[in-house]
Structures are given as structure tokens and as C-alpha cells.
Amino acid sequence: SGTVTLAGAVPGSLPSLLTGSVVGLELGDVVGVLQGDTAAMAGLASLDFRLGGTRTMPTLRGSASLTGPILGDVRAPLIRAAFDYDNRSLRSLITFWRTGDPVLEVDLTLPFDLALEAREERKLPGQIAITAQADSVDLAVFEAFTPSIRNSLGTMALDLRASGTWDDPRLDGTLALLGAQARLPALGVTYGNVEGRARFSGDSLILDSLGMRSDGGSLTATGSIRFEELTKPVLDLRIAAREFLVMDVPNYLKLRPDLDVTLRGPLMQPVLRGLGTLTGSVLYFADLVSKDIVDLEDPAYIDLVDTLALRKQRLGAAFQSRFLDSLRIEDLRFRLGQDVWLRSSEANVQLEGSVTIDKLRKNYRLAGTFNAPRGTYTLRIPYLPARDFDVEGGTVSYFGSPDLNAELDLRARHVARMVDGDEVPIVARIEGTILVPRLTLSSPGRNLPERDLLAILMFGRPDFQLGGRESAQVNSTVRSMLAGAVSGELERLVGIDMFEFRPGFIEDNQGSSLTQLLAGFQLSRRFFVTFNAGFCLGGASAGPAFSRNNLGGSLEYRLSRDFRIQVSAEPVGTCQANPTVTLLPRRYQFGGDLLWEREY
């Protein structure tokens, strides 16, 4: 429904005049015509302008407004601007409005080259003049700029005057925060009692004081932000925190540190160094059932992920901002104080010790060893009550690997009661790594195989005293535990894109189903191939252990995000205990599928 009107001629080598007006133009429509990301920009634009002069020395005058603009993660209030450009100097008055009241006014004069031809550098030598004023602005206005802040209280006062040049700015004025409070939903915390005062002096913003509280803890910051160039701020901050709740995201991380750190460097590439102590913190890790975490913004998944839906649902960089992604951490040493726990749905382990943290871009590295003096571990068995083990000790060791994969060595004890009243102590040993843990069972002073210990845990008596169905359930549980360990370990060691171990099941001596090994490989961005081999386990009556007739495979081609084609070949039948059946020729089934995926 927007209209665009143009009249005249575009300035060239001879002076010309072009006038234009834009009324109610939806920016998202413009981006869509240009085949851009329509979720990254939105808002209604209005514009009136007069473009004159020549291509190399144009003149420009007019006014513009943006209603409800969205620029990436920024959601600004109403913006109005008047501008006048002549003799390579841009003068503009920009006003930010909220609910009918101006909240921030910026008056600027900048030496700038708006020539209608290519330029290596648009910023020109000459004097700049910038004035920005905001008097007792309600901080709730910042909720309109970003979805990362909610429930804002308090006021801000700003009085800024800038002069000098692009490369050597001169600043003067003050900035103050009074009675501020804000909730950060992405971090799950509320920062309150925020009081801060800063002054502009020379080429820097000097932070005289900044204090805040979170869940009984406190944080203070001092230092400066120096503007080497007007558009290139450099941080030099010192931060001290005492039991300050930085983050409390369920099933992810609860972080309450004591800190003495420095934050120095360019705004978009700062470096964090210093010392810290963790108290009252919780770290969550992958369960024994492994989980894969995929970066949805990785270019490798551009054909698989609907980036438009990603932005609309705020699943992109809202949780971790671009600033945090660019933050570099060097030799940040943390000691674990009281009440620090490592948790999953299966384990809750207290940690003691120290660790050194380094980070470059999105890659974290941890080095150090944690002791585990106490805790609990829950062994979950399908269709049966869980069994709780008490952690007696162990270690969790990080060796600086980029995948944050720690080496586990935990010991936990459970006393199982037999059906005849006897008590059997069972020790669970969790070894391996966080990504590929291994669980083994033993009983001190008793020479019992792991299968019998698992049967005692499940049914209160050893395996040889169980019936056929109960024994088959123990067998199934043992194979499932083995499958997870084997699959994860081979994926890591061999470098296979996907590996699965699917154990067959034996029940009442009636034969078994195929035990399958599957390996998958990503051939290209669109092709994925899977091979599988079947084995008959369960004795001679189940037929030959391996046969070429048990080989299969599939090939998948992705046409687009929504459509893919898959062709496959699989053997018909399973391992049979009946000799007359196993003599029948094996047959294959061939299939082809056109798959359409759509989310609503």
C-alpha cells in the first residue's frame, strides 16, 4: 500500500534536480524484492527529498521518518530526521520518540562525501559537531530497542558534546543512571539497584562508578572507553563481583562468581583476563544418552535450515550476543568454592578444584581437574524403577580440547536387596568422557559378572535364576548400554559422520532379530549415504553370524529445505531359529521415497 514518487533527473556531469517522496513504504517488502532476509528489517518509511548538484558534488535536503523500525535484533521507537547536505557537509537533527514524547535528540554536523560514484573513503577531514541530549529518560524506552531487556525501571540522563575530527574526537559532558533495574530473559536474571555515573573528557568516556546487585550479590565496574576514532571505541574496564548471579538458565548454567577481572580492547574484540571463584553454581552436561547440539547459523546447514523462521522465532543470536561471540578470554583462572555442582538428569555431583578458561571466537578451552567428593547417580532402566547410587569420589578432568570434552572417573555405590533378603553392594564406575561415557558395574568382595549385577538391580536375583522373558530384558539392557558407548566412541575415533549400533534381541530361545551396524557419510551438501551390515547373534540355531544377504544401504538427495529423495535397499526377514526357514532364499526390498517436510 506504500507509494513512491520520483520526478526529474539524477545528477550527472551537469547539474540536475531529482525530487521524490515515499509514503507508507514497508521496508520488509523492499528487502523481499531484493531477495534479502525480510525478518531482519521491518518498519514503515516516509521520505521527502530534493537531490541536486552534480554527481561529484551533490546537494540533498529533506526529511524522513521510520515507524516501528526493526534492524536485526534492534527494535527502535519512532525515528524522525531532517537533513541538509551541501559542500560535502552533512547536517542532521534526529529525534527518537516514544508514546508521543521525544526521548533522545541528536544534532550533528559531519564532513562526509555523498558523491554518486565510488569512493575509497567517505569520511573527510574537517571539524565534526555532535550534540546528544536526554533528560531523565525512562529506561523502559530501551525495551523498544531490543527483546533482550524486560521490566526496566529507572532513568538515564545524557549530555554529550563532541568536536574535533573523525580521527581525533574531543568529548565533553556527562552520563548518569539512577535507580535502574532490568530483567534479561536470555540470562534468567534481574539486575537491580543499578547506579552509575560517567563523564566525557578528551577522547574518552570515563566511568567513575557503576554498581549493581543480583540475587544478593554485587558488581562494580570502573575504567574508561576511549574513542581512538569516533566510530572505534576501545574498552579499558576493571570489574569486581562478589557472589553476583550472572546467569541462571535452567538445564544450561547457573553462574555465581566472585570476580576480579579486566576487559580491554576494541568493543567488538575485547579480551577478558583475571581471577575468579565460583560459589553456588550449577553446570549441566550431556547425559549418558548422548545429545548432538547443532549451530543453526552454521553456513553448512544453509540448505537445511529455514533462516527466515529462525529469525522470526528469535532462535539466532538472541541468547548469546555478537559481543559475547567476539569476546576473547585469556588465562581466566577459576577456583571452585562451596556448593558447585555438575548435573544431568542422571547425575548430581559436587565439584572442587580449579580450572583455566580460554576462548577464541566461539571456541572455549578448559584445563584443570575437579574432584567429586559427593553426589548421586541414578541408573535408569526401561520399564523399571530407577536405582540411586551415592557418589563416593572421583575426578572430572579437562585437558583444553576445543569440544569441552572432559575425562570422567566417578565411583558410586548402591546396596541392592536380593529376594532372599541378602544385601549386595554394587559399585558403578563412570569412565570415558562427557561426550562418550562408559558405565561398568562391580561388587566388592564378590566375583559376580556384570550381567548378574544388572539382573540383581532389576529383579533382585542373578541372571541364572531368571525366567526367559526377564533374562531377555536383562540382555536387551546390556546391549543398549553397549550400543551407546560403541556408537559414540567409533564416531569420535574413526571420524564417521554417523554411526549406530542396533542390537538384536533374543527371547525364549526362539531366535533373534538382526543386530545391525550402520555408518553414514555426508558426501556433499545435498548427498548423504548410509550403509548397514546385519549379524545374527544367539547361537547356531539363529543361522550364520554374518551373511552378505544382510547388507543394505540408502542414498538421500536433498532437493531443497522442504524436499528430499531417498532410495534404499534392505534385506527381508530376520535371524530365524527354525532350520527350515533359514534355508529359504533371502530377498531384498527396494524402496524410493519423495519426502516433504513442513512445520506449522
- 472's enclosing H/E stretch is helix 468-494
pLDDT digit string, tens, across residues 572-586? 655 654 544 444 455
Specify the amino acid at residue 515. Answer: T
Residues of the chain with pLDDT under 50: 287-320, 482-493, 505-511, 539-542, 577, 579-584, 600
Stated as kind and residue range, the H or E segment containing 151 is: strand 150-164
Type of residue numbered 252: Y
Kindly give, in sequence order, each residue whose CB lies less than 8 Å from that of residue 271, ignoring residues fewer than 6 positions away: 263, 264, 265, 327, 328, 329, 330
Give the CB-side neighbour count of residue 551, counting CA atoms within 13 A.
4
Which residues in 285-386 belong to E strands, given as ranges? Answer: 328-336, 340-343, 347-350, 352-360, 363-371, 375-379
Q: What is the chain's Cα-based Rg?
A: 33
Residue 150's pLDDT is 80
Cβ atoms 532, 518 nearer than 8 A:
yes
Which is it for strands 587-596 and 563-572: parallel, antiparallel or unpaired?
A: antiparallel
CA distance 192 to 212: 6
Give the Cα-Cα-Cα angle 383, 378, 454 (nearest 5 degrees). 60
Please, where are the H alpha helices in 190-340? 307-312, 322-326
pTM greater than 0.85 (yes/no): no
Beta strands 340-343; 281-284: pairing state: parallel
User: Which pLDDT score is estimated for 113?
Assistant: 93
C-beta separation of 223 from 240 below 8 A: no
C-alpha to C-alpha distance for 519 and 553, rounded to whole angstroms: 9
Model pLDDT, residue 297: 44
pLDDT at residue 581, rounded to an integer:
45
Q: Write down the pLDDT at residue 232.
A: 86
DSSP label at residue 123: B
Query: Tens of pLDDT along 472-524?
Result: 656 655 555 544 444 444 444 455 666 666 655 444 444 455 666 778 787 87
The dihedrals phi and psi of 113, each to the nearest 5 degrees, come to: -105, 110
| Three-state DSSP class for residue 363 | strand
